[in-house]
Structure 1
Amino acid sequence: MDQRISLITLGVDDLARAREFYEQGLGWVPKSAPDGVVFYQLPGIAMALFGRGDLAEDAHHPVDGRFSGITIAINQRTEADVDAVLAQAEASGATILKPAERVFWGGYSGYFADPDGHVWEVAMNPQWTINDDGTVSI
């Protein structure tokens, strides 16, 4: 089996509000938006927004309201870029969970929760390379 992730789907409470956050707030551009779902092409991977209840039904797993222990990361090239992404997210309705700071592994990172509570890390890791196409090399 190939070692990869193809799609991350976020279950959202209000698809229109989630689209506004990602598109108006963060400047993302949808690739496709068939009825009830929206897809964003990211470097080497795709992300979808799908109604939380619809996703629970599709997965046959109830939404229990607890933090799942999963975060999504957006790596940046500089500390200033990390700060800018966190500020943009907060200005668009995200909740800052941890302001950016230098961390034990030698990088710089902070966390925000999007309007549906999905936890995102924004990080700069000096040991990783962000390629010109946006992909990350570890």
Structure 2
Amino acid sequence: MITLGVEDVQASVWFYQALGFPKTDFDSDDVAFFSLNGTWLGLYGREDLAEDAGVPSDGGRFSGVTLAHNVESDALVDETLQQAVDAGAKLVKPGQKVFWGGYSGYFADPDGYLWEVAHNPFTWIGPKDED
């Protein structure tokens, strides 16, 4: 499970739902969960999460963590980045060919968490198109 400490749980719920993440039926204003393929994404207030972990909440620097979403094509990278921007994300790096032979870009969610959207043509491990 991935848990993000966010400034406004309900605003973040709206953002991730706008990206199409499937929210679970768990009912709370203080925490939310999204069911993902093989894991969950949890959203919890930044202050509350820091308190729970016993660490200071002043996360004003890059944590050294990014999240990644792998998609099936270069075009889908661009579409997904635009979908995130339309939902309120900040485009950090537009989709582009990368040194390892794939295609990727980055956006920051409303709390500044960096998400890479990538297509790796060598090891696509997602749902297969059933055309």
TM-score normalized by the length of structure 1: 0.87
Q: CA–CA distance in 2 between the matches of 1:54 and 1:34?
A: 17
2:121 to 126, 135, 138: 126
Partner of 1:81: 76
Deviation at 1:107, TM superposition (A): 0.4
SS of 1:128 mapped into structure 2:
coil
Residue 21 of structure 2 contacts residue 35 of structure 2 at CA under 8 Å; is this kept in 1?
Answer: no
Q: What is the number of equivalent residue pairs in this alignment? A: 126
**Unaligned residue ranges in structure 2 (runs of 5+):** none
Partner of 2:32: 38
Q: CA–CA distance in 1 between the matches of 2:111 and 2:26?
A: 19
Give the root-mean-square deviation of aligned CA atoms: 1.2
Deviation at 1:128, TM superposition (A): 1.2
Deviation at 1:33, TM superposition (A): 2.9
Q: CA–CA distance in 2 between the matches of 1:116 and 1:132?
A: 29
User: Counterparts of 1:1-138 in structure 2 under 5 Å?
Assistant: 7-23=1-17, 25-35=18-28, 36-64=30-58, 65-132=60-127
SS of 1:55 mapped into structure 2:
helix
Partner of 1:4: none
Percent sequence identity is 52
Q: Which amino acid aligns with 1:85?
A: T
Deviation at 1:31, TM superposition (A): 1.2
Deviation at 1:46, TM superposition (A): 0.8
Deviation at 1:32, TM superposition (A): 3.5
Q: CA–CA distance in 2 between the matches of 1:83 and 1:75?
A: 12
Deviation at 1:127, TM superposition (A): 1.5
Deviation at 1:130, TM superposition (A): 2.2
Q: CA–CA distance in 2 between the matches of 1:121 and 1:32?
A: 27
Q: Deviation above 4 Å: which 4+ runs of structure 1? A: none
TM-score normalized by the length of structure 2: 0.91
Q: Which amino acid aligns with 2:23?
A: P
